[in-house]
Amino acid sequence: MKYLDEYRAPEAITASLDRIRRKCSRRWVVMDVCGGQTHSLLKHGLEPALEESLELLHGPGCPVCVTPAAVLDAATSLSLERRVTLSSFGDMLRVPGRSGSLLQARARGGDVRTVYSPLDAVDWAVRHPEREVVFLAVGFETTAPATALAILQAQRSAVRNFSVLAHHVRVEPAMRQIAADPAGRVQGFLAAGHVCTVTGYEEYHAFARETGLPVVVTGFEPLDLLQGLETCVELLESGRSEVVNAYARCARPEGNPHAKRLLDAVFRVADVPWRGLGVIPSGGLKIHSSLAKLDACERFGLTASDVEETSGECRSGEVLTGRLKPPDCPLFGNGCTPDTPRGAPMVSSEGACAAYFRYALSGGRAHV
């Protein structure tokens, strides 16, 4: 298939793997930030193929995984209110909060619906004026513009029965938190190419300068990832803490100005809690007070205590910061599986635990 096959060409992958192995004078520790990259590295067998040359850690870039349980609890409780329809993307429905998942709430009578776009939720609100339609919006700067668009659309069309329970997060502050961890071992980052497509990557120059860690903007197909890893190895071997774009077919330094304008129009940068990581300064986006009527927190009186972080037997915080590999969690495959998830990283299509369960357990062979 055009635009896919050329990034999965077996000969090119084999040659790239060889080059990376040759270039490594030691076993470097590199973190891929995005869950999509994690899945691709494992699905295509790249991580085991490079095991002796690189230690790959997997970062917090799984939006479902970093949404605090208390946000899910707020969504669950809203879904059980009379007149409320709670809508979100499919992955979110299976993630366990403290009072069960949204799917379980639906089984208890909650009106919970899957949508494929925030605009579908606005449309549902227009067609069901007797309902209060709430869209549970999570994700990084990649999904936030679509949420912003839905909010502006609802405002323009004077849709009065639509609101958003938003927990959008920002990647760069989370990378800073990981880089500042005194026990951290990350020596270089693969930044999430799709996030940079929206935000650009100019802010990473200050990050690389201040942390001393190189950053390579990287895509998701096998050859994208190998190009990112090879570039990162070159930077590490030559001691350069610089930013390099290895995803130039999509990401530009300035990002997507239209998407950024949408974000600015609807959101402000705020300190927000991440599941397993605590409150990250400037780590998220909150809806501007001028749009309070479209903010479910304001509309339904949800307070700060409604979104406190929780802890439990799931060790997702350690997994999301690269301190623990999923197979080293005592519950991995031993009570926690995709069918019986004990934590979000085992649920989400971008979760590291699900990636290891799906691919690493079956050998993680390179699909070359």
Residue nearest to ligand SF4 (CB): 343
Among 36, 173, 193, 326, binds ligand SF4 (CB under 6 A): 326
Q: How many Cα atoms sit within 13 Å of 25 on the Cβ side? A: 6
Please give the Cα distance from 138 to 143 (Å, whole number). Answer: 8
Q: Which of residues 286-325 bind ligand SF4 (CB under 6 A)?
A: 314-316, 319
Minimum distance from residue 354 beta carbon to ligand SF4 (Å): 8
**CB 189, CB 215: distance < 8 Å:** yes
Q: Which is nearer to ligand SF4, 62 or 171 (CB)?
A: 62
**Residue burial 47-83, b: 16+ Cβ < 10 Å; e: rest:** bbbbeebbbbbbbbbbbbbbbbbbbbbbbbbbbbeee
Minimum distance from residue 249 beta carbon to ligand SF4 (Å): 33
The answer to the question of residue 277 lying near ligand SF4 (CB under 6 A) is no
Q: Which is nearer to ligand SF4, 266 or 319 (CB)?
A: 319
The answer to the question of residue 42 lying near ligand SF4 (CB under 6 A) is no
Q: Which is nearer to ligand SF4, 218 or 316 (CB)?
A: 316
Minimum distance from residue 337 beta carbon to ligand SF4 (Å): 8
The answer to the question of residue 345 lying near ligand SF4 (CB under 6 A) is yes
Alpha helical stretches, state H, 165-305: 171-180, 193-199, 203-211, 222-237, 257-266, 296-299
- Name the helix (H) or strand (E) containing 41: helix 35-43
Among 231, 353, 355, 359, binds ligand SF4 (CB under 6 A): 353
Kindly give the pairing relationship between strand 188-192 and strand 215-218. Answer: parallel
Question: Residues 325, 228, 245, CA angle at the centre, nearest 5°?
Answer: 130
Residues that bind ligand SF4 (CB under 6 A): 314-316, 319, 326, 329, 331-332, 336, 342-343, 345-346, 353
